[in-house]
Structure 1
Amino acid sequence: MADEKKVYLDYNATTPLEPEVIGAITSSLTEEWGNPSSSHDAGVKAKKVIDEARCNVANMIGAKSSDIIFTSGGTEGNNMIIQTAVKYAYHDMSNGYPGGDNRDKLPHFITSNLEHDSVKLVLEHLAEEGTASVTFVPASSKTGQVDVDDVLSAIRPSTCMITVMLANNETGVIQPIKLISEKLRQINQSRKSLPKILLHTDAAQAIGKIEVDVEDLGVDYLTVVGHKFYGPRIGAIYVRNLGDKDVPLYPMLYGGGQERNYRPGTENTVMIAGLGKAAELVVKNIICYKNHLSSVRDYLEIKLQATFKDRIHLNGKFATSERLPNTCNVSILSDKLQGHKVLSNCRILQASIGAACHSQNRPSPILLAIGVPESVARNALRLSVGRETTKDDIDCVIQDLIQAVNQLENHITET
């Protein structure tokens, strides 16, 4: 048992480092160890690595390198952007908003009920402490997406930001960010004396799986998370025309002035080097990555349906919505096959029932939010394939699921 091959299908939770990324990190540990703020050779070498990495991250999302700020990861990036919107709003609302009511004494955010906790809980906290108000727009049970018109109809005079993820981490459903942007641009032009409504998307799950371009999306802010695309556990944020008043950024920390005073503290050159290399690989290989992921994920779903037939329910697969090419959220229908029980009885499959940071023994709030019945949601398995996953791996997983299901339904206890 201990020697059985393991098949990891939890790439939406985290990914391993690519060998080239490990090489960049190792090289930086030994060669670019200087303080990037120093003017001598050791410092200059470290700063060059950071500059190159910044360019690679920018190229990956179609941005200017001057619009990229490195962070510790997605949670910091999302917090920084949301806190910026609060300060931006308070700066412009000292005398209240014309045409507003009592609700408009507070900055107003619009988001979806699908967001990662690093957005959702931040906004809930701001609302609880009376710092901001929040509208959570429900996703459609017919598409798994937020409806663009529902998002825009929630706008108030005090609305300061719309923040909607680019792709959901559990279902893989891609949200209509470009359409929101296009319509929001028209609304902003008509707001006259009211401040611009800022647009943010958390692109953590999308980058490395599909093409992501900030100009095409039309966003003001975008969050990058390295460990989702075979990079280290740091991140970056994109801010449109960073430094201009139109799209502000306020620091959460104060100190030595690194990252143009937006994110002070001596730079983590080693991890930044790894992030830059991971971004470079995405730029070079995204089409190949996407095609491979899609091929293997589709094969997985075909095999699941062929094996378990009408007992299979694909959660989040909608005729009119696009999904990430690597993500399959599936339930095997039975009152004995709750997701956590199935995974506990698998010998080789390593996967999850939802977001890695959530309880493993309750139905996913995301699935419930898109209309999946609770009895079906309790059985959900989130299977996310990676660059290394093969069809042979999928065949092994199918056999593993068969034996796990048999154990649970027949009450077989191994000795």
Structure 2
Amino acid sequence: MEIYLDNAATTALDPEVIEAILPFLTTHYANPSSAHGAGRRAKEAIDQARRTVAHLLGALPEEIYFTAGATEGINLVLSGAIRAYDLSHVITSRIEHKAVLQTLKRHEKEGDIEISFVKLDERGNVDLYHLENLLRANPRTLIALMHGNNEIGNLTDIHAIGVLARRYNAVFFTDTTQTMGKAHFDLQEAEIDFLVGSAHKFHGPKGVGFVYIRQKHQLKPLIYGGGQERGQRGGTENVVGIVGLAKALEVAYRNLEASRSKVARLKQYLVSKLAISGIEGICYNGESKSIENSVANVLSVSFPCLSSGSLVTKLDQVGIQVSGGSACQGGGASHVIQALACEADKENVRFSFSKFNTFEELDLVVDAITRIYESDPVVATRTGWKRIASLA
């Protein structure tokens, strides 16, 4: 049995994406900077991909820059904006991706910026009143707040943040790695200056992503040499990846509502099955249990600690792939979980779904979890274990 429920980490290639990229692996492999016909055809494929992404997001083609992924894009935006505009203050949160936090901490250590952390409530939601107070006290600042959290799935109101950014002349960057291909964006109307996406999060290839840079901005490059991407990123373009990214985003937007509805139903189904599993002490991190307030495909669950090892490891041993951070084994919870009002003695497991998962798989997953807890001597004794008949 192999069941993959780690789609927030990476996703399987969509069959349409495989079909789209094959010619660029076998026939149209020329360097897009070459002046001959084969090179021009490769360059046109990149230009068409750029037009596709821009159209889907309501942006201009010249506002889309291809990168090696979201991490590079985050570094480009944060370091580029700080240097280009001589910004000395950044507002972020303690539950951002490490690509954001570590980049900002490096600039703080080097004396470039001061970081303010916006307050979060017990579920990890941004306190917009505190954000406005920070902006009022620090005009002309950089805001770096993600749209969808990669661990707990919380959705941030980027529309409200964009309005505040304009009011206080701030620059707004949002990490949309977990929501790209899962939510609609209209960047012509949105008050967003920069965002990033990564193809492998929405059934595209790994090693390719993009940055949206609003036309009025000009950032300083991170990578020099060659002048590709209109001087923003030197180096031969990943034509295969770029073509695959555009096709994956096209497929995602074509099927967005159907896919979002299915993964939301998968999440609700897993919650309902866990509720009757007989395992006491299960709780949900952040807003991940909510369909309205979280990314539909992410469910972060805190389980009671086993006496005989990690639940994530035991699931892996029976072919079920999930992710998590456990305080049970002494490793400590992730920085995201630590920032929330969560019980310390729990094992945190992230289930993340895709359109390729099934309800039958979730039945098998809950049955496997139930058997693991039933066989744990300490947990079974402590909870007065009773096997649920429907799962026997």
Give TM-score scaled by structure 1 length.
0.84
1:306-354 alpha-carbon deviations (Å, 9 max, x no partner)? 2136522111237796111111111223x4369x711222213210115
Describe the SS at the equivalent of 1:353: strand
Describe the SS at the equivalent of 1:250: coil
- Contact map agreement 2:150 2:178 (CA 8 A) in 1: yes
Q: 1:389 and 2:360 equivalent?
A: no
The counterpart of 1:291, out of the listed 241, 258, 261, is: 261
- Contact map agreement 2:8 2:178 (CA 8 A) in 1: yes
Q: Which residue does 1:379 correspond to in 2?
A: 347
The counterpart of 1:330, out of the listed 298, 301, 308, is: 301
The one-letter code matched in structure 1 to 2:89 is H
Q: How does 1:185-200 map to 2 (within 5 A)?
A: 185-188=166-169, 197-200=170-173
Looking at structure 2, the residues matched to 308 and 224 of structure 1 have their Cα atoms a distance apart, in angstroms, of: 40
1:276-316 alpha-carbon deviations (Å, 9 max, x no partner)? 11111112111111111111111111111121365221112
Q: Which residue does 1:192 correspond to in 2?
A: none
1:335-381 alpha-carbon deviations (Å, 9 max, x no partner)? 4369x7112222132101159xxx99321221221211212xx3111
Q: 1:149 and 2:119 equivalent?
A: no
Describe the SS at the equivalent of 1:266: coil
Aligned residues: CA RMSD = 2.3
Q: 1:128 and 2:109 equivalent?
A: yes
Describe the SS at the equivalent of 1:115: coil
Q: 1:363 and 2:316 equivalent?
A: no
- Contact map agreement 1:161 1:199 (CA 8 A) in 2: yes
Q: Which residue does 2:197 correspond to in 1?
A: 224
Distance change in 2, residues 1:326/1:255 (3 Å): same
1:46-100 alpha-carbon deviations (Å, 9 max, x no partner)? 011111111222233222211100001111100000111211232xxxxxxxxxx
The counterpart of 1:236, out of the listed 205, 210, 224, is: 210
Looking at structure 1, the residues matched to 20 and 126 of structure 2 have their Cα atoms a distance apart, in angstroms, of: 39
Distance change in 2, residues 1:298/1:216 (3 Å): farther
The one-letter code matched in structure 1 to 2:249 is A
Give TM-score scaled by structure 2 length.
0.89
The counterpart of 2:183, out of the listed 195, 210, 213, is: 210
- Contact map agreement 1:206 1:212 (CA 8 A) in 2: no
1:18-37 alpha-carbon deviations (Å, 9 max, x no partner)? 11112222111122211212
Distance change in 2, residues 1:348/1:216 (3 Å): farther
The one-letter code matched in structure 2 to 1:64 is L
1:121-173 alpha-carbon deviations (Å, 9 max, x no partner)? 011111112121111223211x4211112122123446431010000011111
Describe the SS at the equivalent of 1:259: coil
Q: How does 1:13-412 map to 2 (within 5 A)?
A: 13-90=9-86, 107-141=88-122, 143-155=123-135, 156-157=137-138, 159-188=140-169, 197-233=170-206, 234-241=208-215, 244=216, 247-308=217-278, 310-317=280-287, 322-333=293-304, 335-336=305-306, 341-346=310-315, 347-354=318-325, 361-375=331-345, 378-409=346-377
Looking at structure 2, the residues matched to 225 and 138 of structure 1 have their Cα atoms a distance apart, in angstroms, of: 28
Looking at structure 2, the residues matched to 321 and 299 of structure 1 have their Cα atoms a distance apart, in angstroms, of: 15
- Contact map agreement 1:173 1:324 (CA 8 A) in 2: yes
Distance change in 2, residues 1:162/1:366 (3 Å): same
The one-letter code matched in structure 1 to 2:26 is T
Looking at structure 1, the residues matched to 291 and 249 of structure 2 have their Cα atoms a distance apart, in angstroms, of: 30
Report the number of matched residues. Answer: 373
The one-letter code matched in structure 2 to 1:42 is A
- Contact map agreement 2:71 2:99 (CA 8 A) in 1: yes
Looking at structure 2, the residues matched to 67 and 267 of structure 1 have their Cα atoms a distance apart, in angstroms, of: 17
- Contact map agreement 1:21 1:274 (CA 8 A) in 2: yes
The CA deviation at 1:216 is 4.8
Structure 2 portions without partners, runs of 5+: 381-392
Q: Which residue does 2:387 correspond to in 1?
A: none
1:1-32 alpha-carbon deviations (Å, 9 max, x no partner)? xxxx1111110011111111122221111222
Looking at structure 1, the residues matched to 337 and 189 of structure 2 have their Cα atoms a distance apart, in angstroms, of: 29
Describe the SS at the equivalent of 1:374: coil
Looking at structure 2, the residues matched to 182 and 24 of structure 1 have their Cα atoms a distance apart, in angstroms, of: 39
Describe the SS at the equivalent of 1:308: coil
The one-letter code matched in structure 2 to 1:107 is S
Describe the SS at the equivalent of 2:244: helix
Structure 1 portions without partners, runs of 5+: 91-105, 189-196
